[in-house]
Chain A
Amino acid sequence: DAKTTQPNSMESNEEEPVHLPCNHSTISGTDYIHWYRQLPSQGPEYVIHGLTSNVNNRMASLAIAEDRKSSTLILHRATLRDAAVYYCILRSGNTGKLIFGQGTTLQVKP
């Protein structure tokens, strides 16, 4: 399974945008880029996913580099409730398994 690299932690101020980077230089053509987050004492929840094009949904935006070797999750206005561990995951088109890395712990300051 292709691996991802994320910063261990990031800080943001409330109501400011947050850009969470992810490197995945060994991504293959069939790998989808998925983002999940885990709030304290909860199971992970889906945020967004994409293959090649940038994606937007009600929670966030996903910007994918043209060579697909990196991506950025964008939270447009961080709130205190967005404090969580954010996982960037490459989902194999063959197995469909989610293999979690260490993720980025996002702290949001009021």
Chain B
Amino acid sequence: SAVISQKPSRDICQRGTSLTIQCQVDSQVTMMFWYRQQPGQSLTLIATANQGSEATYESGFVIDKFPISRPNLTFSTLTVSNMSPEDSSIYLCSFRRGHQNTEAFFGQGTRLTVV
């Protein structure tokens, strides 16, 4: 099993502000991923974060809005910038330890409400 923790677990933020979500893994991992889950919806991949390189963003997501850091092999952050109520979602980080087809582990998510 693996330990992956996210902080904060939830937050209520004012529109126009930014929130940084932290994801900590209990061991070194190569690939980390950030997802968004809007209310009642499935998960949408935001970006892939590899250590030592720029994150790769999926269509519809841009670095200015969702900057990602990956300073080492156990840690990553996602910032939701200049928030609006439409950004209210659950944000989840995920990782795989090794080869592309090993299982992925997910954090419990950060429930963000923008007012």
* Chain A positions near chain B (C-beta within 8 angstroms): 32, 36, 42-46, 49, 85, 87, 91, 93, 95-103
* Chain B residues within an 8 Å CB radius of A46: 103-105
- Dominant SS among interface residues on chain B: strand
- Compute how far the CA of A98 lies from the CA of B107 in the bound complex, rounded to whole angstroms: 15
Pairwise interchain contact B101-A96, C-beta atoms closer than 8 A = yes
Is B53 interfacial (CB-CB < 8 Å)? no
Number of B interface residues, CB 8 Å? 20
A46 to B106, CA, bound (A): 9
Closest to B99 in A: A96
Tell me whether A91 and B45 are in contact in the complex, defined as CB-CB below 8 angstroms, given that A43-B106, A96-B31 are known contacts.
Answer: no
In the assembled complex, the CB of B30 is this many whole angstroms from the nearest CB of chain A, namely: 10
Query: B42 touching A45 by the CB < 8 A rule?
Result: no
- Check B101 against A49 for contact (C-beta < 8 Å): yes
